[in-house]
A = this chain, B = another copy of it.
Amino acid sequence: MSGTQSQATASSLQICRIMRPDDANIVGNVHGGTILKMIEEAGCIIGTRHCNTQPGDRCAAQLARVERTDFLYPMFIGEVAHVSAEITYASKHSVEVQVHVMSENILTGATKMTNRAALWYVPFSLEDVDNVTEVPPIKYASPGQEEEGKKRYEAQKMERLETKERNGELLMPVSAPEPYTVGFSQSSLIHLVGPSDCTLHGFVHGGVTMKLMDEVAGIVAARHCKTNIVTASVDAINFHRKIMKGCVVTVSGRATFASNKSMEIEVFVDADPLIEAEKGKYRAVTAFFTYISLDKQGKPLSIPPMKLEGDGEQKRFEDGKMRYLQNKAKRLADKERQQ
């Protein structure tokens, strides 16, 4: 044991983990993203460790680049993923980490090399987060090894300079909406329904859906208010149709009404059976969430007024105002009854 352990504290590292249902799609294939995340965790540990092996500012290794990566074989739920990482080159301000991923079937003993990856990390000072620190040198097994590493370093440097940020237009342009308009704060997310979102029989828990709805509505409210916002109430929600395992859920939210102290957000949940696409997309749930805005002491703040555009928004605002006044009246009546 001592052998592996002493190696672990030097410039190589092994991570392994059993692949679980939440790491995979419904057919049991582990997501590429699960593997990329494990690879990067190994790289981050080994990179940060190496860059702190000399006196001076403590630093954190930030991922700067991942070289092209192939997924050679699929991995499955129940297999063990072994990630081995090694520092293979150090320039003045960056380190290269090479990573191998193997899958192991612990029932049959079969192992397969599923990925090889190379990652570049740059150390940033923890005292001054914009400051890149120097990287301690590493020992190479041979001068040839260092030379090879240097070539890779120069090649990726060139490519990084060439690749400017692809400023592909936003996919769904909303023609730069003005702050405080409905278009400015509206938001949507998609979520691929995973095993932990579902009952044992493959239906999405209502609570999971409500959590996603609150997440989107909260982002709409925060985009509008730019403050700490908290959920104040949720209107009655009807669950019209079941959502099943393997669906993609689209959750969209838009501001409908704002009083001085609260704002209302309408949320839509659409389910899209990814594979049995003939069933078609359908609207599963809709609801209204109400948020209040808080300052740093937790005291309520005013809500910035909404800028309404078009009749539709005006109409929804009036409807929202009606709900607001009804709820206010109801709360007052409840209070009086209790006295």
Contact = CB atoms under 8 A, between A and B. Distances in A.
Given A31-B215, A48-B275, A231 B40 contact: no
Interface in A43-98: 44-45, 48-49, 52-53, 58-60, 62-71, 74, 77-78, 80, 82, 84, 86
Tier of interface size on chain A: 35 or more
A289 B189 CA distance: 20
A23 to B, nearest CB: 8
A173 B268 contact: no
A52 B274 contact: yes
Interface hub of A126, A171, A235 (most chain B Cβ within 10 A) = A171
B126 A201 contact: yes
A168 B266 contact: yes
B275 A58 contact: yes
Given A16-B13, A199-B44, A214-B32, A62 B242 contact: yes
A186 B109 CA distance: 13
Nearest to A84: B1
A203 interface: yes
Interface hub of A40, A77, A199, A289 (most chain B Cβ within 10 A) = A199
B45 A77 contact: no
Contacts of A2: 173-175
Please state the number of chain copies in the assembly. 3
Contacts of A38: 207
Contacts of A42: 190
A58 B200 contact: no
A296 B28 CA distance: 11
Contact of A275 (B129, B227, B250): B227
Contact of A18 (B9, B166, B215, B235): B215
Closest 6 CB pairs of A and B: A32-B231, A40-B207, A63-B206, A33-B214, A33-B211, A78-B200
30 contacts: A2-B174, A3-B3, A14-B190, A15-B189, A20-B22, A21-B22, A22-B22, A32-B218, A32-B230, A32-B289, A36-B214, A38-B207, A44-B206, A58-B276, A60-B203, A63-B207, A65-B236, A66-B206, A67-B236, A68-B235, A71-B232, A80-B219, A107-B126, A108-B226, A126-B201, A168-B266, A172-B174, A195-B196, A219-B248, A228-B275
